[in-house]
Structure 1
Amino acid sequence: MNFSRKASASWEGSGKEGKGSISTGSGVMSKVQYSFGTRFEDGNPGTNPEELIGAAHAGCYTMQLSFLLNEDDFTADHLHTDATVTFKDGEITEVLLHLTGKVPNISKDKFVEIAEKAKDICPVSKLLNTSIVLAVKLEE
């Protein structure tokens, strides 16, 4: 399967006082505000590159995990991944994927094994050149 997806960003003004917007080709995000404040300060309305990377990684990883579970004849009742992207001294230094899942008839060891494989082969994991940490919780 081959495809391309598009997103765009616009910016006006200086880095600190300026402002911009981010849009996706699907239209789900249309001219969503981003600025110095939304990226480097808490409590400002809008988005930032780090949370968008986190959303992309969490979404891609969780879908990849679902496919791998299916390959081993498991179907999740529920999978939820939080991605925390750490920005430090001008670079993204780590992504923490915190996974919680409920999968009938799977052992904890098997769940962790498949979850780790998903982390390694997820296309967004492969894209990011950073430490990617995975925390896994299997619900009973």
Structure 2
Amino acid sequence: MKSDESLYHTTTINPHGMPGRAYVLGNGELNVQVSSPRKPEEPGTNPEQLLGLAQATCLASTLQTIQEGRGIEYQSEVRVGVDLKYDTHGLRFVIEVQARIPNVEPEEAQKQLDFAESRCPVSKLLSGNEDVSVKLVDKFTV
């Protein structure tokens, strides 16, 4: 397979902004109500939640693949905190990723997390951003 060949493609659409609906083009796989996080009276999800879910799911599944490949039962958990903050050009996201990898020595757990971060497409997309941190933890704070 060529490196530029797509393994999967999706098209997502938001035709109305917020509040409104956003969906995946196709067989109705995902169709969600969206709203602003700054208007809690409006039901729906928001970009902060979707970004956090994307990061948590991608990194957790990458860790799972790594651990299962090493014969380790997957017991890890990834939590992502996403904050919306002001900056000099409007708004920005600040993302804190925490991973807990139990029953693995801390040095080995850090190696697994570093390797997963280097392989997870969402982590690669966000890498180098000063507003993103990834930490190995024993207890979650996010």
Deviation of 1:87 (Å)? 2.1
1:3 partner letter: Y
Who is 1:4 aligned against?
Answer: 9
Q: For 2:93 and 2:19, locate their aligned partners in 1 and report how far apart those are by CA, in whole Å.
A: 25
CA-based RMSD of the aligned residues comes to: 2.5
Aligned equivalent of 1:80: 77
- Could you report, residue by residue, the CA deviation over 1:43-80 in whole angstroms, capped at 9, with x for unpaired residues? 5421111110110111001001111223333221x222
Structure 1 unaligned regions, length at least 5: 13-17
Are positions 1:96 and 2:99 aligned together? no
The residue that corresponds to 1:15 in the other structure is none
The 3-state SS of whatever aligns with 1:11 is coil
Residue type of the partner of 2:79?
Answer: D
Structure with higher strand content: 1
> Relative to 1, partners in 2 of residues 1:102 and 1:51: Cα closer, same or farther, differing over 3 Å?
same
- Asked if residue 61 in structure 1 is aligned to residue 68 in structure 2, the reply is no
Match of 2:30 in 1: 29
Q: TM-score normalised to the size of structure 2?
A: 0.73
Matched with 1:132 is 132
Secondary structure, counterpart of 2:108 in structure 1: helix
For the structure 1 residues 69 and 7, does the alpha-carbon distance in structure 2 shift closer, same or farther, using more than 3 Å as the test?
same
Q: Using structure 1 for the length normalisation, give the TM-score.
A: 0.74
- Structure 1 residue 83: Cα displacement: 1.1
> How many residues in Structure 1 have an aligned counterpart in Structure 2?
128
Q: What's the offset of the Cα at 1:113?
A: 1.5
Structure 2: gaps (5+ residues): 1-5
